[in-house]
Structure 1
């Protein structure tokens, strides 16, 4: 039976993301993996506390109360990927490890620099956002590219033909999010 997972690419407009964008020339610089189209069950590597851009690591993202809430003008694109039920089971099993050990995971800032040099820089328990999403997919047997997860950028998702675009625009204008805000 086919199921769907969702890839959210976003740009909050923060100083850090503006710096990345200036270099990459890509419209989005953050990647997240979600298991529902309402983005309730969504994970990535990013800010652990919305007010502190320096403390990063594994996060269960919450659009309504987390970092995104501080940046209401966030732009995004949302893709869906058809996967099997078994793929989802594998991904969620892997996520359980991240969730149980979330305090041990760090943001791989050097890995971001490595991508710019096309040189993977990997550390145990350390990821940047698109590396994390690519790693979860890769370890679950889903191969979208012929490159290491440590070299995958948010723009690689945007250019991936296996992903189907379902929304592009302001995150808070995305209909399932708008409905949640009205509750």
Structure 2
């Protein structure tokens, strides 16, 4: 029997102006999605702010809870899900992620895609993603098809509602036990 593997998807609400505006429109409790390969969330990946103090400079980011954007927003609320995957799925995801890491500076934040999402019309560019599009893209390219829609139409709320994702935590990010231990 093959050992069970997991990836972790965190949905969050930092309370920033940008997320507050999105939240007013979507009515969803969480508006940012991140992907992690470890249950302690020491390394998470997404599309968002490249620098914590500059919301206008966005792109592919390796998120660091202790020193990155989250460190500026101690009241961040979140939900964390685990998704069972095979070892082969993990290998594929890591390979795809490596491409993003090696080409980090070539990627931009897809703000037009967020606008398109609001009217259910995908707006895609080859080097541009928004957070939930990126997480859905990594899963999709790895052969994990959770939805019958393209990644450019996947919202953080879609992750929250998917039955394959198992909720493992809901609350304040800095009260999540593995993070409290790191503090």
TM-score band, normalised by the shorter chain?
over 0.9
- Of residues 156, 159, 166 in structure 2, which corresponds to 1:157? 159
In 2, Cα distance between equivalents of 1:138 and 1:118: 19
Query: 1:133 aligns to what?
Result: 135
In 2, Cα distance between equivalents of 1:165 and 1:76: 11
Query: 1:99 aligns to what?
Result: 101
The residue correspondences of 1:1-183 to structure 2 (distance < 5 A) are: 1-181=3-183
Deviations along 1:119-158, one digit per CA (max 9) or x if unpaired, are 0000011000000000000000001111100000000000
TM-score, normalisation: structure 1: 0.98
- Runs of at least 5 residues in structure 2 that lack an aligned partner in the other structure: none
Deviations along 1:23-44, one digit per CA (max 9) or x if unpaired, are 0000000000000011012100
Q: What is the DSSP-based 3-state SS (H/G/I as helix, E as strand, rest coil) of the residue aligned with 2:45?
A: strand
Aligned residue-pair number: 181
In 2, Cα distance between equivalents of 1:58 and 1:109: 13
Q: What is the DSSP-based 3-state SS (H/G/I as helix, E as strand, rest coil) of the residue aligned with 1:5?
A: strand
In 1, Cα distance between equivalents of 2:93 and 2:44: 12
In 2, Cα distance between equivalents of 1:180 and 1:158: 26
In 2, Cα distance between equivalents of 1:35 and 1:23: 31
In 2, Cα distance between equivalents of 1:53 and 1:33: 20
- Runs of at least 5 residues in structure 1 that lack an aligned partner in the other structure: none
